[in-house]
Structures are given as structure tokens and as C-alpha cells.
Structure 1
């Protein structure tokens, strides 16, 4: 099978591990009219105690009527007022102003003149739900693209991908093109931070949250602390912290 065709097939078939997604990711999916109605029913079960998730589902015209009726049974007065909005959304949905799952699938199937699409092009045409699925289950090439996605939930889901390697984590830790939440997540992972190159990449990266870098600073080798003291690429708090640590080390000697 052609590699490009295989990748496109995988994108469409990847399952979403809903119980392991954050509440924010569930809300995002709940609001996306391109998400498969079967998934919306599962999201209803998982997020029924979260008012914001329920609100997103109510406003989503793709939610099956049977599931909508189930939601209605337990709605409080505030959420019942959202039902009127659903009526307007449903009309737009039926007119074709909002993307249905089938329309989204057709859009993803469009190919260029050469019959092939780059991974970047395929990912750009994915629905939010498919992006989350690909971030969690997709291959290395997809992870490299999706970790830079402007949506923090998608970027963070990449870091939870079970196939992610330490080499990738090191690259993400050193990257200035990913959101700070990715750096924060890497910094919280003790196993990853046992690898010195990952630890060093975080501290040397000016985009890493200062609190994370300061926490890791005591584990940085002396020669690297010397470099940080003189570096103009890191925040003053980091270069200043490096100077203090060096002074303490020299006093002990």
C-alpha cells in the first residue's frame, strides 16, 4: 500500500482513548460538529457531571436526538436556556452551514494534482477530534507537527502519546515553537528529567517557564552553569540563579 494512502487511512481510523483525555479536550470534542455522533454519546457519559461539557454538547447540532433527550432529563434551569441556541445551530447544520462528519470526511479525502498530500496538509484538514486522536496515537512525523499546534490541548496530548521517544522529548524541550504547557509537562515527568540532555534542554530554553527552570537548575552540571551565567538568551532569574549556585559550589570546595 502507498505510504501516503496508508497514513490517510490511519488518520480516519485512529480510535480516541476518551477516558485518558483531559476535561478540556473532552469539551473541545463536545463542541465540534465534525465529531462522530457515537463519540459524542461517549463524551456525554464521561462528562455528564461537568456543566461546561454538557453545555458544549447541547450546543452541538451533531449530537443525536436520543442523546440530547437524555441530557434534557437532568438539565438545570441555566442549561435549559441553551436549548434555544441548539435549535438555531441545528437549522444551520441541516442547511450545510456547519460541517457534518460526512462532509468533514470528504474534505479530508481531497488530494492534490499529484494524488498525494504531505502530512502537514493532511493534518490541516483534520477535525479537532481527529487531531486529538492523531496526537495520542499517531506516528513521529505527526507528533512533530501537532506538538506545535496552537491549541494547547492538542499539543499536550502529543506528550501523552505512548510511542513518544526520549529523543523527541529532548527536541520538544529545546524547541521555542511549542507552548509553555508542553515544557511544563516535560518538567513534571521525573523519568524524562533523569536524562541530563532533556533537563539541560529545558533549562537552556528561554521559553521554558521560569519556575520549571529554577527547579531544575541545581541539577545542572558546573560547566553548564558557567555558560548560563554569561548567557543573554535565558531570563535574568536563570542566569542569576546559576551564579548563586556556582558561588555556593566554590565555597564548599
Structure 2
């Protein structure tokens, strides 16, 4: 059982996140990691020095960076070993649809993160995110099945034939397509 007094306990990290969100923290993070870079045509891969810099940060600094960091920092923190840090990145007000879509498509994204995305009305309003979550085999099954009802016929057909999705998802997509065919026919 985690020690509630530990600085890495979920309660302590939650308190730090609340302070950061309210702007009452005293955590020093390099300003360059908080400012967004100028938009460029091609997506950038964060440099190794940035990876090392973030790896050497303590938990409180990573919490602040998750909630306030720039795109490069967010992309690194989404691979952090702490699931809480990963979840906090989703609450960064500057995270973009493009980043969420990339996360939803990524087969290495943690199931909890995919589940949180599937629960979020803000993100599931975006059709591409719903498709990506339904296609991702790591999305919790119940949430992926719930998303199928919101997809179009063409996408359901593609999912029904796909070998890259869970068998249960493919079977359910076929059932929905069969029901749609019965209504027309």
C-alpha cells in the first residue's frame, strides 16, 4: 500500500497538481519548457538533451511540466513511467487535437490513458479520435464497443474486416452492419 506521506503518493501528487493549476506553486521549471515553439510544417522529435533534462526532474517539477509544458515536453511526459504524470498531460489546456489523435492511434499508449480519452466528451466529440480509439486494440473493450455505435458505415465495414482490432470489436462491427442492412432491406 502506498505511503500517504510519500511525496510520490497519489494524494501528494494531486495536491501538487492543484497548486500548479491554481498558480500557487513555487516549483521552478525552465521557461523554455513552458513556451510553445513556433508552429512548423513537420512534427519535431524532441532532442535527447530535453529527454535527459526531464528525466532528471523531480516528481513535482514533472507534475508542473505536465500541466503547463510545451508540446515537446508533453510528448516526452506521455511516456513517463508514472501513470499520474501521463494523465495530467491530458489536462494540459494547450494539448491539441493532433496530439490526442496521435495518442489514440499509438499502440503503445497505456490502457488507462486510452480509457480516459474514451470517457472524455471533449475528445470523443472528434470523429477521428473515436475511430482511432475503436481501432486501437489496447482501448478497454467496453469503451471500444460503446464507440462503435457512433461510427459511420464505411468505418464499421473497415473495422469488421480488420485483423488489427480485437476480434470482439470486429464481430460487433459486423453485427451493427447487419442491423443497418436489415433496416434498409
Counterpart of 1:147 in structure 2 is 78
Matches for 1:101-120 after TM superposition, within 5 Å: 118-120=49-51
Paired residue total = 149
Provide the rounded CA distance (Å) in 2 between the counterparts of 1:155 and 1:169. Answer: 12
| Cα pair 1:206 1:233 within 8 Å, conserved | yes
- Runs of 4+ deviating beyond 4 Å: none
Give the aligned partner of residue 222 of structure 1.
153
Residue deviations 1:130-174, cap 9 Å, x none?
111111110011111111222110100000111111111111111
Would you say 1:126 and 2:54 are equivalent positions?
no
The two structures, once aligned, show a CA RMSD in angstroms of: 2.4
CA distance in 1 between partners of 2:182 and 2:75 (Å): 44
Of 187, 201, 206 in structure 1, the residue corresponding to residue 132 of structure 2 is 201
Equivalence map 1:160-171=2 (5 Å): 160-171=91-102
Contact map agreement 1:156 1:182 (CA 8 A) in 2: yes
CA 1:160 to 1:246, structure 2 compared with 1: closer, same or farther past 3 Å? same
Q: Report SS of the residue matched to 1:219.
A: coil
Corresponding residue of 1:174: 105
Q: C-alpha offsets along residues 106-136 of structure 1, whole Å, 9 cap, x if unaligned?
A: xxxxxxxxxx962111111111111111111
* TM-score normalised to structure 1 length: 0.55
- Normalising by structure 2, we get a TM-score of 0.74
Q: What is aligned with 1:32?
A: 7
1:19-58 deviations in Å (ceiling 9; x for gaps):
xxxxx9xx5xx5239xxxxxx8xx59x9xxxxxxxxxxxx
Residues 148 and 177 in structure 1, CA contact (< 8 A), matched pair in contact too: no
Give distance in 1, aligned partners of 2:82 and 2:166.
25
- Answering whether residue 144 of structure 2 is matched by residue 213 of structure 1, we say yes
1:246 to 168, 177, 180: 177
Report which of the two structures shows the higher radius of gyration computed on alpha carbons: 1
The answer (yes or no) to whether the contact 1:229–1:240 under 8 Å persists in 2 is: yes
Question: What aligned pairs does 1:177-188 form with structure 2 within 5 A after superposition?
Answer: 177-188=108-119
Distance 1:191 1:154 in 2: 20
Q: Compute the displacement of 1:227 (Å).
A: 1.2
| Distance in 1 of aligned mates of 2:140 and 2:79 | 17
